[in-house]
Amino acid sequence: MKSLKDLEKMREQAKKKMAMRSDDENQYRVVVGMATCGIAAGARPVLNKLVEEVAQHHLPVTVTQTGCIGMCTLEPIVEVFDKEGNKTTYVLMDAEKAAEVVTRHLIEGQVVTEYTVGKYKQ
């Protein structure tokens, strides 16, 4: 049974972590489209999977949300930005594919080409 008391412990851990990574900037920024089109296509579980994986592997990655990315038929869409600002757009995502993108792209640094928008639109 969880209680608000647990948060005190988590707070101390988070503070320690923040002190440690102060000059170690984030490697990737991950953006999930969460407009009506994204939500209806299943973006919520994708976002939650990304947050879960980032938390469990303690990755130096920020996960953020945005509105409609503009290709509603290819939702859920996930964009990954690296430190240099290069963007990779993953389309037709689900929680399983999102976990794979975390392992192969965010951890191992390799773009998962089979899920990118280039596979669907030239």
Partner 1 sequence: MPDIAMHLLDIVYNSIRALAKMITIRIHDSEKENMIEIIVEDDGCGMDEETIQHVMDPFFTTRTTRKVGLGVPLFKEGVLATGGTFDISSTVGKGTMIKACYIKNHWDTPPLGDLAETLATLVQANDQIDYLFTYTSDTHQFCLDTKEIKAILDGVKINEPEIILWLKDYIKEGLSQ
Residues that bind partner 1 (CB under 8 A): 1-2, 4, 6-8, 10-11, 13-15, 18, 34-36, 39-40, 44-45, 47-48, 51-52, 54-55, 63, 65, 67-68, 70
In angstroms, give the least distance from the CB of 93 to partner 1: 15
Q: Which is nearer to partner 1, 36 or 103 (CB)?
A: 36
The structure tokens listed for 109 are 């640094």
Q: Which is nearer to partner 1, 70 or 109 (CB)?
A: 70
In this structure, the number of other CB atoms found within 10 A of the CB of residue 55 comes to: 10
In angstroms, give the least distance from the CB of 68 to partner 1: 6
Distance CA 43, CA 31 (A): 11
Q: Rounded to 10 degrees, what is the CA torsion of 121, 85, 109, 118?
A: 0
Q: Which is nearer to partner 1, 3 or 86 (CB)?
A: 3
Residues in Cβ contact with 30 at an 8 Å cutoff, skipping those fewer than 6 apart: 50, 54, 61, 62, 63, 64, 78, 79, 80, 81, 106
Strands laid side by side in the 78-82 sheet: 61-66, 28-33, 78-82, 87-90
Q: Which is nearer to partner 1, 4 or 20 (CB)?
A: 4
In angstroms, give the least distance from the CB of 87 to partner 1: 17
In angstroms, give the least distance from the CB of 32 to partner 1: 9
